[in-house]
Amino acid sequence: MRLSVCIPMFFREISLPEAIRRVAELGYDACEMWTVGEEEDLQAAAAACREYGVDFLAICTDCFDATGGDAEAYAEGVRSAARKAGALGAKMLISQVGKDTGAPRPEQHANIVKCLKAAIPVLEETGLTIVIEPLNTLVNHKGYYLWSSQEGFEILREVDHPQIKMVYDIYHQQVMEGNLIANITGNLPLIGHLHAAGCPGRNELNNGEIDYKKVFEAVDQAGYAGACALEYKPLLPPEESLALTGKLYG
């Protein structure tokens, strides 16, 4: 399993190409972003990835409103993000599903399925994969709909498409469910990506109650072949923090 750097958590004040250079200098070969604006020089970022040997893994979709929104609008948000992902060489789109609208949960669940199915033609046309993201609602994302990885897996089984999977965020799921190793290794065919942060606090991986060495070892032994993005708020200076994390878990 390779480690990826979530650039906005560490390098907010510099250009994307410069951030990619620093990622490479710290010994990492993969990165990702949340959002990328049309005004950013995507070609320059792609050139930096080629120059420094860094794979740009993922950006987010441009529309998260799947609980109560229009399926075609959601699909168009996937399409617009796909154009930017293509310029960056990214193969994955991360999608949250939106807030809990207050409607009965079965209705919101069904609308998420509908929106994801509407995005399938875009995915098949571009070769991209969408990974939906459960988040914790106790600390960081109050009012968000999809907090349960188990419901997320149910949604994916209903959609039943190989290019629609889950980003399993280990931090968020420790807050909400625990049972991390069993939930990951028991659902590997449905997991396309991992995120990691220490819990509680969402800081360095070696801070908190999660033994990431054991988690990563179990995930590797189970045959996970994807990446895990470092999506934490560093307490140390960013370069020092990433260098330490690379030594501990790389």
pLDDT digits (tens, 9 = 90+) for 121-131: 999 999 999 99
Q: What is the pLDDT of residues 159-215, one digit of tens each?
A: 999 999 999 999 999 999 999 999 999 999 999 999 999 999 999 999 999 999 999
Mean pLDDT rounded to a whole number for the chain: 97
Residue with tokens 């992902």: 85
Q: Indicate which residues carry an active-site annotation.
A: 133, 231
Asked if the model's pLDDT at residue 133 lies above 90, the reply is yes
Average pLDDT over residues 49-71: 97
Position 39 scores a pLDDT of 66
Task: Express as a percent the part of the chain with pLDDT over 90.
Answer: 97
Q: What is the pLDDT of residues 86-113, one digit of tens each?
A: 999 999 999 999 999 999 999 999 999 9
Judge residue 206's burial from the number of C-beta atoms within 10 Å of its C-beta, 0-12 exposed, 13-18 middle, 19 or more buried: middle
Residue pair 66/98 in contact by the 8 Å Cβ criterion: yes
Asked if the model's pLDDT at residue 250 lies above 90, the reply is no
- The half-sphere exposure of 248 on its side-chain side, counting CA atoms within 13 A, is 15
- The half-sphere exposure of 158 on its side-chain side, counting CA atoms within 13 A, is 16
Instruction: Give the amino acid at 140.
Output: N
Instruction: State the pLDDT confidence band at 37, using cuts at 50, 70 and 90.
Output: confident
Judge residue 124's burial from the number of C-beta atoms within 10 Å of its C-beta, 0-12 exposed, 13-18 middle, 19 or more buried: exposed
As given in the structure block, the two tokens for residue 236 are 């140390």
Architecture of domain 2-249 in this structure: Alpha-Beta Barrel (3.20)
DSSP state letters, the chain: -EEEEEHHHH-SSS-HHHHHHHHHHTT--EEE-S---TTS-HHHHHHHHHHHT-EEEEEE-S----SSS-HHHHHHHHHHHHHHHHHHT--EEEE---B--SS-HHHHHHHHHHHHHHTHHHHHHH--EEEE----TTTT-TTBS---HHHHHHHHHHH--TTEEEEEEHHHHHHHT--HHHHHHTTGGGEEEEEE--TTTS--TTSSS--HHHHHHHHHHTT--SEEEE----SS-HHHHHHHHHHHH-
Instruction: State the pLDDT confidence band at 40, using cuts at 50, 70 and 90.
Output: confident
Lowest mean pLDDT among 159-163, 181-185, 239-243, 246-250: 246-250
